[in-house]
Amino acid sequence: MKGYELCIIFQPDASDAVMDELFSVLGSAVTKYNGSVLKTEKWGKRNLKYAIKKHAKGNFCFIFFSGTSETLKEIDRIVRYNEQILRYTIIKLDKNLTPVVIEGATLAPAVAEDPEAPAATPAEDIETAATTAEAQ
Protein backbone atom coordinates (compact mmCIF):
# COMPACT_ATOMS: atom_id res chain seq x y z
CA MET A 1 0.00 0.00 0.00
CA LYS A 2 1.09 3.52 -0.71
CA GLY A 3 1.40 6.30 1.84
CA TYR A 4 -0.57 9.53 1.56
CA GLU A 5 -0.90 12.84 3.36
CA LEU A 6 -4.29 14.55 3.59
CA CYS A 7 -4.14 18.27 4.31
CA ILE A 8 -7.45 19.83 5.36
CA ILE A 9 -8.20 23.50 5.98
CA PHE A 10 -11.30 23.87 8.14
CA GLN A 11 -13.27 27.07 8.62
CA PRO A 12 -11.79 29.21 11.40
CA ASP A 13 -14.87 28.77 13.60
CA ALA A 14 -14.87 24.95 13.33
CA SER A 15 -14.79 23.30 16.75
CA ASP A 16 -12.48 20.50 17.83
CA ALA A 17 -15.50 18.21 18.11
CA VAL A 18 -16.28 18.70 14.40
CA MET A 19 -12.66 17.98 13.44
CA ASP A 20 -12.45 14.91 15.69
CA GLU A 21 -15.72 13.58 14.27
CA LEU A 22 -14.37 13.91 10.72
CA PHE A 23 -11.10 12.23 11.78
CA SER A 24 -13.04 9.25 13.13
CA VAL A 25 -15.13 9.00 9.94
CA LEU A 26 -11.98 9.19 7.80
CA GLY A 27 -10.23 6.64 10.02
CA SER A 28 -13.07 4.17 9.62
CA ALA A 29 -13.07 4.73 5.85
CA VAL A 30 -9.33 4.04 5.69
CA THR A 31 -9.59 0.84 7.75
CA LYS A 32 -12.61 -0.28 5.71
CA TYR A 33 -10.30 -0.62 2.70
CA ASN A 34 -7.50 -2.35 4.69
CA GLY A 35 -5.47 0.84 5.18
CA SER A 36 -4.16 2.39 8.36
CA VAL A 37 -4.02 5.90 9.79
CA LEU A 38 -0.39 6.58 10.70
CA LYS A 39 -0.59 10.02 12.25
CA THR A 40 -2.91 12.99 12.70
CA GLU A 41 -1.83 16.54 13.50
CA LYS A 42 -3.73 19.71 14.26
CA TRP A 43 -1.81 22.89 13.58
CA GLY A 44 -4.60 25.15 14.78
CA LYS A 45 -5.73 28.45 13.35
CA ARG A 46 -3.36 30.04 10.81
CA ASN A 47 -3.51 33.01 8.47
CA LEU A 48 -4.16 32.20 4.83
CA LYS A 49 -2.10 33.80 2.05
CA TYR A 50 -5.34 34.69 0.26
CA ALA A 51 -9.00 34.50 1.20
CA ILE A 52 -10.79 31.19 0.61
CA LYS A 53 -14.58 31.46 0.60
CA LYS A 54 -14.23 34.90 2.26
CA HIS A 55 -12.14 33.56 5.16
CA ALA A 56 -8.71 35.02 5.96
CA LYS A 57 -7.89 32.29 8.52
CA GLY A 58 -8.30 28.54 8.68
CA ASN A 59 -7.71 25.56 10.98
CA PHE A 60 -5.02 23.34 9.46
CA CYS A 61 -5.04 19.57 10.01
CA PHE A 62 -2.93 16.78 8.55
CA ILE A 63 -3.64 13.05 8.36
CA PHE A 64 -1.02 10.54 7.25
CA PHE A 65 -2.39 7.19 6.11
CA SER A 66 -1.69 4.21 3.90
CA GLY A 67 -4.27 2.89 1.50
CA THR A 68 -5.37 2.03 -2.01
CA SER A 69 -7.11 3.90 -4.80
CA GLU A 70 -10.49 2.87 -3.35
CA THR A 71 -9.47 4.53 -0.09
CA LEU A 72 -8.72 7.75 -1.94
CA LYS A 73 -12.08 7.70 -3.69
CA GLU A 74 -13.91 7.20 -0.39
CA ILE A 75 -11.96 9.98 1.35
CA ASP A 76 -12.64 12.31 -1.56
CA ARG A 77 -16.36 11.52 -1.34
CA ILE A 78 -16.45 12.19 2.41
CA VAL A 79 -14.43 15.41 2.38
CA ARG A 80 -15.81 16.99 -0.79
CA TYR A 81 -19.29 17.79 0.52
CA ASN A 82 -18.39 18.79 4.08
CA GLU A 83 -19.44 22.40 4.70
CA GLN A 84 -16.79 22.96 7.41
CA ILE A 85 -13.89 22.33 5.00
CA LEU A 86 -12.53 25.25 3.01
CA ARG A 87 -9.94 23.30 1.03
CA TYR A 88 -8.21 19.91 1.03
CA THR A 89 -5.55 18.05 -0.88
CA ILE A 90 -4.15 14.51 -0.90
CA ILE A 91 -0.44 14.08 -1.55
CA LYS A 92 1.33 10.79 -2.31
CA LEU A 93 4.30 10.32 0.01
CA ASP A 94 7.79 9.32 -1.06
CA LYS A 95 8.66 5.61 -1.03
CA ASN A 96 11.42 6.23 1.54
CA LEU A 97 8.92 7.43 4.13
CA THR A 98 8.02 4.45 6.26
CA PRO A 99 5.41 4.53 9.04
CA VAL A 100 8.20 4.71 11.64
CA VAL A 101 9.70 7.79 9.99
CA ILE A 102 6.30 9.48 9.71
CA GLU A 103 5.41 8.85 13.34
CA GLY A 104 8.76 10.26 14.48
CA ALA A 105 8.73 13.40 12.33
CA THR A 106 6.79 16.47 13.29
CA LEU A 107 5.12 18.81 10.82
CA ALA A 108 4.65 21.72 13.22
CA PRO A 109 6.87 24.61 12.18
CA ALA A 110 9.93 24.84 14.37
CA VAL A 111 10.89 28.08 16.07
CA ALA A 112 14.36 29.08 15.00
CA GLU A 113 16.96 30.02 17.62
CA ASP A 114 18.14 32.89 15.45
CA PRO A 115 15.28 35.22 14.44
CA GLU A 116 17.13 35.99 11.20
CA ALA A 117 17.40 32.30 10.25
CA PRO A 118 14.56 30.79 8.22
CA ALA A 119 12.45 28.12 9.94
CA ALA A 120 12.52 24.59 8.56
CA THR A 121 9.58 23.74 6.36
CA PRO A 122 7.51 20.62 7.04
CA ALA A 123 8.88 18.95 3.92
CA GLU A 124 12.44 19.53 5.15
CA ASP A 125 11.62 17.96 8.53
CA ILE A 126 10.25 14.82 6.89
CA GLU A 127 13.11 14.62 4.39
CA THR A 128 15.63 14.94 7.23
CA ALA A 129 13.87 12.20 9.17
CA ALA A 130 13.81 9.98 6.06
CA THR A 131 17.52 10.44 5.38
CA THR A 132 18.48 9.72 8.99
CA ALA A 133 16.31 6.57 8.92
CA GLU A 134 18.05 5.43 5.72
CA ALA A 135 21.48 6.00 7.31
CA GLN A 136 20.60 3.75 10.24
C-alpha span between 77 and 37 (Å, rounded): 18
SS3 27: helix
pLDDT in tens, 64-116: 999 888 999 999 999 998 889 999 999 998 876 655 566 666 555 544 444 45
CATH 3.30.70.60 spans which residues of the chain? 2-93
Bridge partners, residue 39, by sequence: 64
Alpha-carbon separation of residue 89 from 62, 79, 84, 100, 126 (angstroms): 10, 10, 15, 23, 18
Q: Which of 126, 134, 48 is nearest to 87 (CA)?
A: 48
The domain 2-93: what is its CATH number?
3.30.70.60
C-alpha span between 8 and 61 (Å, rounded): 5
Q: Are 35 and 65 in contact (CB under 8 A)?
A: yes
Which runs of E-coded beta strand occur in 11-84?
Answer: 36-52, 55-67
Q: Are 86 and 107 in contact (CB under 8 A)?
A: no
pTM for this one? 0.69
C-alpha span between 6 and 14 (Å, rounded): 18
pLDDT in tens, 16-75: 899 999 999 999 999 998 888 988 898 989 888 988 888 889 999 999 999 888 999 999
